[in-house]
């Protein structure tokens, strides 16, 4: 009986935070808002709309819905200009090995991301074919830490939540996995992600013995 292995995208499969940062910075600069790398950490796992609100909050900037909508479009157009140039070498270390191992062992693989750009990114970096299901920002109404995105992914795979495993780099994502009663695996700083059941700095630390333990659970 296969398990469902559900991957977050940004910060787990690819390091797109730098591109989000560059695109948001243009908007912030124009509005005279100081937007640092530390501020960018606040946007991990957070939806596009919520990200803009956080940035405007940093500068105590009030804006009309019309302006906000315009900036959201501009930000995304700019972000997409970075995405089109992405290559396979931007996949984070160890990710392809883990995906390949799971595929070779008959496991089900899904994406569970807040991004509305998930498909083109997976395609650009050449890993789209690994995924049996994709649930992204176009499909869900409730953002992480709500478990909706992961529950939908497991459902599409036909696997119960308690037979599902989630890889996440954001606190809200770990909380979503826990709320879904799935196994939560934190990728990144273990102190930040201390609510995760397991922690690794990156996928190079995840060996096949550990993956096999998850498969046999």
Contacts of 93 (CB under 8 A, 6+ apart): 202, 203, 204
32 phi-psi bin (left φ>0, alpha ψ -120 to 50, beta other): left
Applying CB under 5 A, the site for Mg ion has a residue count of 6
- 108 binding partner (options ligand BG6, Mg ion, none; Cβ < 5 to 8 Å by kind): none
Of 82 and 198, nearer to ligand BG6 (C-beta) is 82
Q: How far is CA 96 from the centre of its chain?
A: 16
- Residues between 129 and 148 with contacts to ligand BG6, criterion CB under 6 A: 137
Query: How far apart are CB 51 and Mg ion at their closest, in Å?
Result: 12
Residue in 204, 205, 211, 147 with CA at minimum distance from that of residue 175: 147
The reply to whether 108 sits near ligand BG6 by the rule CB under 6 A is: no
Question: One symbol per residue from 41 to 80: x for binding Mg ion (CB under 5 A), - otherwise; what is it?
Answer: ----x-----------------------------------
**Tokens read off for 43:** 């946007």
Catalytic residue status for 10 = yes
The reply to whether 175 sits near ligand BG6 by the rule CB under 6 A is: no
The reply to whether 47 sits near ligand BG6 by the rule CB under 6 A is: yes
Interface with ligand BG6 by CB under 6 A: which range of 39-47, 96-104, 182-190, 196-204?
A: 39-47
Q: How far is CA 72 from the centre of its chain?
A: 19
Give 200's strand partners: 187
Q: How far apart are the first and last CA of the chain?
A: 11
Give me the helix-helix angle, 148-157 and 171-179, nearest 10°. Answer: 60
Catalytic residues: 8, 10
* Contact footprint for ligand BG6 (CB under 6 A): 9-11, 20, 43-48, 51, 76, 113-117, 137
């Amino acid at each position: 009986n296969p398990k469902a292995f559900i991957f977050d995208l940004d910060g787990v499969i690819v390091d797109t935070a730098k591109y989000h940062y560059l695109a948001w910075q243009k908007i912030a600069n124009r509005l005279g808002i100081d937007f640092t790398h530390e501020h960018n950490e606040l946007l991990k796992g957070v939806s596009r709309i919520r990200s803009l609100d956080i940035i405007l909050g940093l500068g105590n900037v009030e804006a009309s819905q019309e302006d906000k909508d315009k900036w959201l479009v501009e930000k995304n157009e700019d972000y997409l200009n970075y995405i089109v140039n992405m290559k396979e070498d931007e996949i984070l270390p160890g990710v392809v090995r883990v995906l390949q191992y799971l595929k070779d062992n008959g496991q089900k693989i899904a994406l569970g991301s807040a991004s509305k750009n998930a498909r083109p990114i997976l395609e650009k970096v050449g890993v789209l074919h690994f995924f049996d299901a994709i649930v992204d920002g176009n499909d869900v109404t409730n953002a992480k830490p709500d478990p909706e995105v992961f529950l939908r992914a497991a459902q599409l795979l036909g696997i119960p939540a308690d037979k599902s495993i989630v890889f996440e780099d954001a606190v809200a994502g770990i909380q979503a996995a826990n709320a879904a009663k799935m196994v939560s695996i934190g990728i990144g700083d273990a102190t930040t992600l201390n609510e995760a059941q397991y922690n690794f700095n990156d996928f190079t630390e995840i060996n096949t013995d550990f993956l096999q333990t998850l498969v046999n659970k």
